[in-house]
Structure 1
Amino acid sequence: MQNIYFNHDGNVDDLVSLLLLQMPDVNLIGVSAVGADSYLQPAVEASRKIIDRFGQQTNLEVAASNSRAVNQFPKEWRLSSFSFNNFPMLNEQSKIETKLAKQPAHLDMIEKLQNTAGLTTLVMTGPLTDLARALAVDPTITKKIDRLFWMGGTMNNQGNVAEPEQDGTMEWNAYWDPEAVKTVWDSDIDIQMVGLESTDQVPLTKKLRDHWASLRRFPAVDLIGQGYALVLSYEANSTYYLWDVLTTVSSHYPDIVTSKKVTSDVLVEGPGAGRTFITPTGRPITLVTSVDKDAFFTQIDELASGAQLNPIKCKKAIEENIFPSIAFLILILILILLITVR
């Protein structure tokens, strides 16, 4: 059983990743969300609702991050978190059962890591700020981390940031807080980086959308298809990729990717702030370089089609919907009887 702590930044790809983390042989010890490529409140609520709907573990909490951006994501990208949170599938139950953690994300991360037996895999699909802050509070957590799987960075100087006074060589999760990336790079955590050079190999295409549409009889696949429908508008000027899902799935199924060891560092100042780059004087990391696309998409299908609805929480949702309807029918019958008697 693999212990995983999942820290994400709340956009469609992150929430689909959380859905897929309800996978066999995973002990999901904690979940936290940061308002980076999303807004915090809908990202946290949607996370709790996904766990309500599909989670198979008890006592799982979601922590809200209070980390702040150095460079904030575009507002237009972040808005999809509100739409995802309002999907009818996630709102059949009026009350969210999954608890909100009492501590902010970086402290929740420390608590969950230190209180879990054995080592834990960190899967982070947003900025590294919460981990950097956790390291500042308690550097000993590195002894509890098996490996960090991070979606962020690129080693080919072809980034996806097109902002004024920037040179375009950095990836957004790194650009959000360059100092945090540097802090993590300066630690002794074993890092597997899933950067743009590999995620660019798994674009969101019409063929893929149509494939998921053909499988919408499975609730989790239906939710995935609805989620990715929100990012259709991006394709007018850019392509959406399965950045976070590749990171998440490869953390448990490593054979779907090919990687190599490189030595690297992070630039924290100037027009290239956030750039990750290969250098002989840098620290060693594992860089994912290619993807077995067929195996990757097959694994998504298997996980999503096999995702089981939470029987207890779904029963509550059904009762909330059915019981008021039954009461209303009984009232109608009583009125009919009274009218008939008169």
Structure 2
Amino acid sequence: MKQIYFNHDGNIDDLVSYLLLLQAPDIKLLGVGAIDADGFIDPSVAACRKMTDLFNLRGDELAVARSNSRSVNQFPHDWRMATYSFNYLPILNEKGSVDTPQAELPAHLDMVEKLKHAKEPVTLIMTGPLTDLARALDVDPDIEQHIKKLYWMGGSLDGHGNVAMVNADGSQEWNSFWDPYAVKRVFDSNIPIQIVGLESTEEIPLNDELHQHWASLRKYPAMDLVGQGYSLIISIPSAELYLWDVLTTVSALYPEVVETEKAKATVITDGMSAGSFRRDPNGREVDIVTKANKELFFQKMDEILERTK
């Protein structure tokens, strides 16, 4: 049975990823940590605790860890607000109380403890910045041997980014730009890494067809939450969004959903290109996702979300 630790940064895609991990069969979720990046940390932790109460189908013993990591470059304020709206959704608040606790340790130390005490190497899924992992490695470098593979949504190897800031040249992806030094620290480790970058898929955009699909299946509580969550995101046709975080999570559960290629890359840590990746024959080898099987992806996602207690 695959053992998983999940670390995320609290926006809609991240929270849907957590929902999938709560409902997926044949895994054990050892822990979850939230970092104060693409979503505000307090509603992110609160939403995860409420989701655990409602959707923890396997009954894993979970406490949600709150990160105290800080950014080098913080996400835009407007992007982060969706987490507050998600946390107020009625489906998460009908009960009026929360049973799942917040973890006693901050997220990077919670990660260290969960990895050290795991009975077998752990699959690590991260859909936000890598700072908590970088700090965990600094605290205890031996945790490397407890990580089977890291699945990360971050970076871009083709030079196109999603950062539009006065101190950036636009070539970088936000999870990498948030803390480029953390990316370098993780790249300096020996942890096997699979990356979903900005260029990894154009098969799974967030569009009206997908919104309608979720709406048609809202009789399933988890599907209803997904539909409500994504309704908080207003897609602009000229700036189409893709389910990068969810693809990262589903590909960790079902590797056959994606195609990958090996690449060697380094990360730039300073200057206008900080957070950018460049291909480098002497760089760190990673598996980069190049294509997603759209039909299989949605089949697996639907199967998980349609599971009920």
Deviation at 1:236, TM superposition (A): 6.3
Aligned residues of 1:231 and 1:240 also touching (Cα < 8 A): no
Residue 144 of structure 1, aligned match among 143, 146, 159 = 146
Q: Which residue of 2 aligns with 1:85?
A: 87
The runs of 5 or more residues in structure 1 that have no matched partner are 310-342
More helix by share: 1
Query: Secondary structure at the residue paired with 1:30?
Result: strand
Deviation at 1:237, TM superposition (A): 5.8
The runs of 5 or more residues in structure 2 that have no matched partner are none
| Runs of 4+ deviating beyond 6 Å | none
Matched, 1:220 2:222: yes
The 2-side partners of 1:272 and 1:52 are apart by: 42
Deviation at 1:263, TM superposition (A): 0.9
Matched, 1:17 2:17: yes
Query: Secondary structure at the residue paired with 1:118?
Result: coil
Q: Which residue of 2 aligns with 1:277?
A: 278
The 2-side partners of 1:146 and 1:5 are apart by: 11
TM-score calculated relative to the size of structure 2: 0.97
Instruction: Name the amino acid aligned to 2:26.
Output: D
Deviation at 1:240, TM superposition (A): 2.0
Aligned length: 307
Deviations 1:238-281 (A, max 9, x none): 22211110000000100010001111110001111001121101
Report which stretch shifted further, 222-231 or 54-63. 54-63
Instruction: Name the amino acid aligned to 1:146.
Output: K
Q: Which residue of 2 aligns with 1:338?
A: none
Aligned residues of 1:15 and 1:47 also touching (Cα < 8 A): yes
Matched, 1:107 2:109: yes
The 2-side partners of 1:244 and 1:283 are apart by: 22
Q: Which residue of 1 aligns with 2:34?
A: 33
Deviation at 1:54, TM superposition (A): 0.4
Q: Which residue of 1 aligns with 2:3?
A: 3
Deviations 1:200-242 (A, max 9, x none): 432101011111111111111110000000002x426622211
Residue 183 of structure 1, aligned match among 185, 198, 213 = 185
- In the TM superposition, 1:248-267 aligns within 5 A as 248-267=249-268
Q: Which residue of 1 aligns with 2:293?
A: 292
| C-alpha spacing 1:290/1:3, structure 2 compared with 1 (3 Å) | same
Deviations 1:82-137 (A, max 9, x none): 01001111112222111110000000000000011011000000000000000000
Q: Which residue of 2 aligns with 1:59?
A: 61
Report which stretch shifted further, 140-149 or 89-98. 89-98
Instruction: Name the amino acid aligned to 1:203.
Output: P
Question: What percent of counterpart residues are identical?
Answer: 52
Q: Which residue of 2 aligns with 1:157?
A: 159
Aligned residues of 1:204 and 1:239 also touching (Cα < 8 A): yes
Q: Which residue of 2 aligns with 1:49?
A: 50
